[in-house]
Amino acid sequence: MSDRILVACMGNLLRGDDGFGVAVAEALEERDFPPSVTVVEVGISGVSMAQELLDEYDALVLVDAMERGDEPGTLYVERATVPSLEGYSKREIGGFAADMHQTDPSKVLVLGEALGVRPEPTILVGCEPYETDDLEDRLSDPVREAVPRAVEHIELVLDELRSNGRVDG
């Protein structure tokens, strides 16, 4: 059974659909989770994410916009796989803590693995964005509509983690 679960929501409110994680964090604030579940909005800072992981959680749910080429608003819920640390220099990994959000959540996983603080299991909950490059302070319609569905998926993941400590998928 997972005792402490971190739901870390990443995103940049000023980059349109990149604010998906922030919107999910706001929606999760309305839920009544037990004290073992911590929901945080970590913005775009690798330092914030690393600091949260240093608190030693038993499981991690990482929420972010994830560009994979599907229709905007498509949700992804999957167990994370961590890229090999061998592909990165110590300098590169250190740079992830300073600014890791211009690519994808794999950098978060590499940073957590390098620091020895990435919980297992780590579950990714992502949404295909429509636009993340322009300066825009709101979500596109498909991504905004995906937020409540993402919250439902996160609640299911949390229920499964709390009941048996693992998520199949």
User: For residue range 5-44, what is the model confidence (pLDDT) as tens digits?
Assistant: 999 998 888 888 999 999 999 999 989 999 999 999 987 7
CATH homologous superfamily for 5-164? Answer: HybD-like (3.40.50.1450)
DSSP 73: T
Q: Can you tell me the distance from the alpha carbon of 39 to that of 139, in angstroms, rounded to the nearest whole number?
A: 21
Q: Can you tell me the distance from the alpha carbon of 67 to that of 127, in angstroms, rounded to the nearest whole number?
A: 8
User: Is the Cα dihedral 126, 128, 133, 139 positive or negative?
Assistant: negative
User: For residue range 64-109, what is the model confidence (pLDDT) as tens digits?
Assistant: 999 899 999 999 999 988 767 777 777 776 666 655 444 456 677 7
Torsion of CA 27, 66, 12, 83, to 10 degrees: 110
**Could you tell me how many helices (H) and strands (E) the chain has, helices first?**
5, 5
Claim: this prediction has a pTM higher than 0.85: no
Q: Where are the domains of the chain?
A: 5-164
